[in-house]
Every structure is written in structure tokens, then in C-alpha cells.
Chains A and B, each alone.
Chain A
Amino acid sequence: MHLTQHLRGSLANKAMGNSTPATLEQPSLVSFSEHQRIDIDTPADGEASGLGNSNPATSDFEALAVHRYKLGVSVGFGGIIMIFAALTSAMVVRSGLSDDWKSFGLPSVLWFSTIALLVSSFTVEKAKRALRNSNENGLRTWLAVTTVLGVAFLVSQWMGWLNLTERGLYLAANPSHSFFYVFTVGHGLHLLGGLLAVGYVTGRVWCGHHWVTRSAAIEAAALYWHFMDVLWLYLFVLLLVWR
């Protein structure tokens, strides 16, 4: 992946004085600030040549990348929130409009899902702390635990769906089940995306790679993971109350 990054912040301030003074006779002279940008090509093997943490410029760059990735993920929350807000309002309207709504008991395995996801939020936070403290061992461990918990969550959701089908509660049997499937599958797909991201960084960290956007990737994945956790808590409460 090629990333073209503009480095601003402290470095840019240093370069501020560089703009070409233009005189009124030559107003077309353009003021440029030179060399504020570094372009990063992540080497395929993930080894960032000479871009260790010792280089202050690199850590500036890393800070910028962290900011950008986290901003990207946060903006994405807006879109995801609207997806689930639309579904929520659809459920409120659909259940209020007609009398064919039949409540059903949620599969109890969902409590296990919930606990697994809550714990995984805690572990991914631990991984982030380890990253910030340059504790490579901690980072490896906590990332791996998070991945395992993520997989456990999805398996547990799968068992929840199996439980419903065993009870004959299929997708179309009643709108309450329809919405249950829509919400849980919708959340599951978004979480799967997060799991792929977490799994990817975990894999690379375990292989000992130090790529330049490593912190950014881990921080962004952690942020997304927390969001998946909060989203699930919201959906779980919603389904408990409104089933």
C-alpha cells in the first residue's frame, strides 16, 4: 500500500519561514513551503528501513498517521450509526403498527457473547497500552487474546442463530425474529470487518514486523473494536427490551 502523507505539525512550523518573499512587481511568485511531506512506501516485507522510533521525524509522522486513521474510523461511525438508527426506527414503527408481533426469549448464549465482547474491549485496551509503553510482549499477548475473544463472540452468535432455528424461529416466522436476525447479522458483519483488521495486525505483530503505520493500524483497530462493543451493548439491550 502506498500512503502519501503530508507531515505538518511541528515539522511544518519549522518550514514555515521558507515561503518565497514575493515583491509587488512579481506578485505571481508562489510561496511554497518545501519538503514538508514524506511519502511512505511500506516495504512489502514490512520492515521500515531506518524508520524506527528513534527518528523524531518518524514519530511525528506516526502521530499524524494515528490521527488520520482514527479520524477515518470515527467518521465511519457516523455511517454505521445511521444504518442501525434506520433499522431501529423501522423496528419501532413495525412493532407499533400492527398486532402480529410475537415476543420470544433471546437465546441465553447471547449473555456469553456479551461477556466475551466486553472482555475483549478490555484486552484490546491493554494491547493499546502495551503499544504505547513499547511493551512488545504485552502487545503480542493482548492482541492475540482479543482475536480469540472476537472469534469466540462470532461462534457464540452462530450458536444463538442455531438455537433460534432449532426452536423453529426462522427469519420470516415473525417480524420480531426478522429484526433479531437483521440486527445480529448486521452487527456480526461489521464485527467481522473489525476482526479481520485485528487479526491482520495481530498476525503481523507476531511475525515481528515493524511497519511505519503500525501504531496507527493498532490504534484504529482498537477504536473500531470498542465501537463494535458499544454497538452490541445497545443492540442487546434493545433486543431484550423490544423483542
Chain B
Amino acid sequence: MATEVAEHLEVHRHPEPTNFWTKYIFSIDHKVIGIQYIILAIVAVFVGMALSLLVRLRLVWPDKPIEILGTLFPVGAPEGVMTPEFYLAMLTMHGTMMVFMVLTTAPQGGFGNYILPIQIGAADMAFPTLNMLSFWTTFVSFVTLCAAFFVQGGAPIAGWTAYPPLSALDEATIGGYGQDLWLLSIAFFCIGSLLGALNFIVTTLQLRAKGLTMMRLPLTVWTWFVTAILGLLAFGVLLSAGVLLLMDRLGGTSFFIPGGLLVNDIPIDHTGGSPILWQHLFWFFGHPEVYIAILPGMGVTSHILATFARKPVFGYKAMVYAVVAIGALGFVVWGHHMFVSGMSPYSGFVFSVLTMCIGVPSAIKTFNWIGTLWGGKIRFTTPMLYSIGFVSLFVTGGISGIFLGQPSVDLFFHDTYFVVAHFHLIMGVAAIFGMFAGVAFWFPKFFGRMMSEGMGKVHFWLTFLGVYAIFGPMHYLGVIAHPRRYAETTSVDYLGAAGANEIHYFVTMAAMITVTVQCLFLINVVWSLFKGKRVTSDNPWEATTLEWVTATPPAHDNFEGRIPTVNHGPYEFSVPGAPRDYVMQCNAPDAAPARKSGE
């Protein structure tokens, strides 16, 4: 190796930062930034869960005083009884926290940032400084969002979708600055995400190691790459829409506020705007956004299923094409959120057909996951369990999507708990299971210690059963036409007669238990950081991709001045004739005798 020194350039090692601030806070190292995103998401997810508990409490005991709330929120919960507006505010902040600050940050900015450069054999992202800027812009967005709790008027109440006129008019709410801060926060978030997406795309296109062709990329990298493209094309639209809405609120314009509006008996001095226009712009972003949340989880699941089934991913190419197809189709189905907005039945029909088309690549992925498991020598580790859980949740949530995708059925189900069940299972919980799987799988690489399998398995089963207990019954609530986003339904006769009150009680109990169980995950993380079993090799899972050949944890520049050369496809497990049951991507070309590399 060292004989051809004359050919080599002098290597300037990327200097390792020595100062605390540049090492841990304003770091340009993608690994540190990845961890920062994950920490941000963990903080946000606990805030979001606390908010969801308030929402659940209010639904079951609408007028029971909770003393501590009265002290904390004298306006929102006078004497401890939550007002309907307060309920909506908590609901709005819950949705926004979860969708933006959790589901959009950790899977992509967190795991993608940490793992993608290593899996493609790069020393960092293409633009490290820009990477740092993306994170800090996102952080400012998070702080701005949290500030909405504390300003006059409190947090906004228009939901995570911020439909005008409710989101545009102070006359319709208590007023105040909550909605303005929300919009500002979203604008920052868009900018941070756009910069991040740019970085991911250039990195994947330009920094792959020698021999790592696109069709040899791990599926994780493929999903991060496609997610970045979706982000690049979607967040600009939300940014534009948000700016227009902010101008309607602050500048007196009428983009989204119609004329002749009477709110709380107050005539509104605006003309000609279109609330439906907001819905189009929002959902043009919103539907790709749900795939931004779920695609990385799909990648992680594919990756982990293959690793622990000791089999190549079934239909690797089909998986790649399915991801690309889902990404592309994701841009033409936004209308399925607006079937009841008065759109022409013909448009509804077109959106419905296109929506059903997305079911095809989704089904391909599901069958390939099952095909990967089929006949495998399965190792039931915790990451494997989480990944199998992901598949289960994805299927359950996908099936309810097929119902909703038909305008005639959606006329009934729209704005009922059926939709809540659908998107929590498929987007909320499935994506979070993808993250659990990612943490459990890469923890040994991040920190050099294994997570506790015992705690992990208990956490998996309790959470898995818990989320089904929470969201399963909501399908039934939808079927009995229980509307969503109502603060109080205990005295509604038709719901009570169908058993809605008991179901809400059950769901709230299940939610409290499941939220409590999440502390076990946190305990597992902290315990394993200090007491977890130390890894004895750089590749404890006997996996194939490049992150498992580097040091544990990886050096500052990932590969210590060298770059691996890739000679094999990403999932060469159980290759006939090979001495071990796995061939790493960077093993010598002749390490896999029987199968052609790259397949």
C-alpha cells in the first residue's frame, strides 16, 4: 500500500476541534450534528407526548379540575379546567411538534446525517458548514415554536394544518401572537430543511466511495436521498404559503381570507381571498411531507430485516424503484386531503386513482419485506423486533388509507377519528418504530456499547401493544362518525349510545400507560451509555455496510485518512460458497465466489 508514495498527495488531516464549543455545539462534524438532531427530536417528542396526554384527559374528563394545570396555565385552564381553546392549542402544538420537530428531524437530519456519509465512504457531508447552519436554523425554529406557549393569547389553535380563516383572523380566536410565531417557526423550519436537503443530495451524488454505484447503495441511503429530493421540492411551497398567510395576518392582504365574512358577529374587512388555495398549497407540501417522515423508516426497516434474517433484501431493485415511485407519485395525490372541499367530482376521481396507484409501490415494499423474512435464519434482536413492528403498523395504517382514498367513503370518514387512527398508525407510530429500530441498531456504533436487550424487548412489546390499544379503537370511533378536533363529546347522545365514552376512557388509559413505558426507552438509553455491554468488534451485528468497518465510535474523519473501496452489493448475506454468512461491501472482489457482485 505504502509503496506508491510518490503518487500520493500529502494528506492534511481534517483538524479535530479541540475546543468544547466547536466540538459539541457549533460542530461541523456530521456525526455530532446528527446526534444534535436526535437530541432535539427526543426533547420534542416528550413535549409532544405531554401535550397529547392533556388532550386525552380533556376528552375523558372535560370539566374535572386538575390543580397543577390551573397554576401553570391560569388563562388556558382557569381553576384547573381546560377551556376548549386550550384543548385546541394543545392539539395544535402536539401535531406541529410531532410532525415537524420529531418525524422530520430525527429520521433524516439525525440518522441520515450520522450514517449516510459513513455508509457511502465519505469523510463528511459535502458542505459541512451548511450542515451546521441547517441544524441551528431548525433549532431556532424549535425555540420559536415553544415561545408560542408563552406569548399573549397563547399557542395557536388552528391545528397543524393551520387552515384559514381560523389561522388568519384574530377575530376568530383569542388573538395574540401564537399563530404568528407558529408561522415564523415553520418558515425557519423550511429554510433549515431546504439547506439540509441540498446537502444530502450533493453528498449522495458526489461523495460515494470508489465502486459504490447507485445500485450498490444501501436502501437506507436510497431513502435518505429520495427524502431529500422530496424535501427540496416540498418545503419551498410551504415556505411560500406560510409567508402569504403571515402577510394576511400582519400585512392586511387577502390571499386566503374571503370577502363578506362574518366572524363572531364581526364583519371582516377583506375581499376575494381563497381558503381553499391554502389547502392546495399546504397539502402540496403536506402529502410529500408524510413520506418525508416515513421513507427513512422504510430504509432502516429494509436494512435491518436483511441483516437479521441473514438474507439479501428480496428484490433490491424493485425496492429502489418503489421508493422512487412513491416519491414521484407523492407529488400528485395531495387532493385526497380535500375531497370534501367542494372540488369537482372529476378532480376527486383523478386524485383517487392516483392515490390508489401509490398503493402499488407500497404493497411491493411490504411483500418484499415479507419475502426478505421468508425462510431466513431470523435473529430476534431488539432492532429486528422494532422493524417487524414497523411492517405491521405500516400495513394496518395503509389499509385504512385505501378506504380514505375513495371520495365516496371519505365523505363519511373525513374529519372523523378514522383519519386520526390512519395517520397515527402509519405516520406517527410506524416512523417512530423506525427510529427505535435505528437507535437500537446503531447505538453500538455511536457509543461502543450495546443497548440492553431485556429492557428493549419489554419496551417493544409494551409499546407495540400499547399503540394498537390506543389507535385501534379509533377506527371504530370513526365508523360511528365521531368528529375529530372536538374538545368535548361526552354529552353527545349518538356517540354515547354507541359507546364512545367508554372507548375514550380506554384509549386515555392506554395512552397514559404507553407514554409511561417510553421512560423505559430513555432509561435503557442512559443505562446502556454507562453500563451497556462493551462491543468486542467493530461489527457486532455481522452486518455488511461500510459503517461497520470503521472504528467504534468512528474517528473524526470516519475512515482515518483512508476510504474503503466497494466491491459488493449492500446485502450479501448467506452467499453460497463464502466462508462466512456475510460479505461486507468493502471485502475483496473474490470474497463472494458464487454470486455476481452488485446483485
Contacts and interface: CB of A to CB of B under 8 A. Distances in A.
B247 A182 contact: yes
Interface residues of B, number: 76
Contacts of B4: 14-15, 18
Nearest to A97: B274
B531 interface: no
For the side of the interface on A, what is the size category?
Answer: 35 or more
A171 B252 contact: yes
A16 interface: yes
Interface in A14-56: 14-16, 18-25, 27-41
A121 to B, nearest CB: 23
Given A100-B272, A172-B251, A75 B202 contact: yes
Contacts of B207: 6
Contact of A4 (B128, B201, B232, B580): B128
B232 A75 contact: yes
A39 to B, nearest CB: 4
Given A31-B588, A67-B206, A79 B15 contact: no
Interface in B562-599: 562-565, 567, 578-580, 583-584, 586-588, 590-591, 593
B266 interface: no
A6 B123 contact: yes
Nearest to B578: A27
Contact of A6 (B122, B235, B236, B584): B122
B563 A79 contact: no
B259 A98 contact: yes
B356 to A, nearest CB: 25
Given A98-B274, A172-B252, 4 more contacts: A1-B129, A27-B578, A28-B580, A34-B562
A90 B281 contact: yes
A22 B586 CA distance: 11
B210 A8 contact: yes
Interface string A149-188: 0000000000000000000000110010010001000100
A98 B261 CA distance: 14
Contacts of A175: 253-255, 272-273
B354 interface: no
Contact of A38 (B11, B126, B232, B593): B11
A172 B250 CA distance: 10
A98 B11 CA distance: 65
Contacts of A237: none
B464 interface: no
A11 interface: yes
A24 B579 contact: yes
Nearest to B13: A39
Greatest chain B CB density within 10 A among A8, A72, A93, A186 is at A72
Contacts of B265: none
Contacts of B194: 79
A172 B253 contact: yes
Interface in B96-137: 122-124, 126-129
Contacts of B205: 71
Interface in B423-447: none
Interface in B231-271: 232-237, 239-241, 243-244, 247, 251-255, 259, 271
A80 interface: yes
Contacts of A186: 243
19 contacts: A6-B122, A6-B207, A19-B567, A22-B588, A22-B591, A27-B579, A68-B206, A71-B206, A72-B199, A72-B202, A76-B198, A78-B232, A82-B232, A90-B241, A90-B244, A90-B255, A90-B281, A100-B254, A172-B253
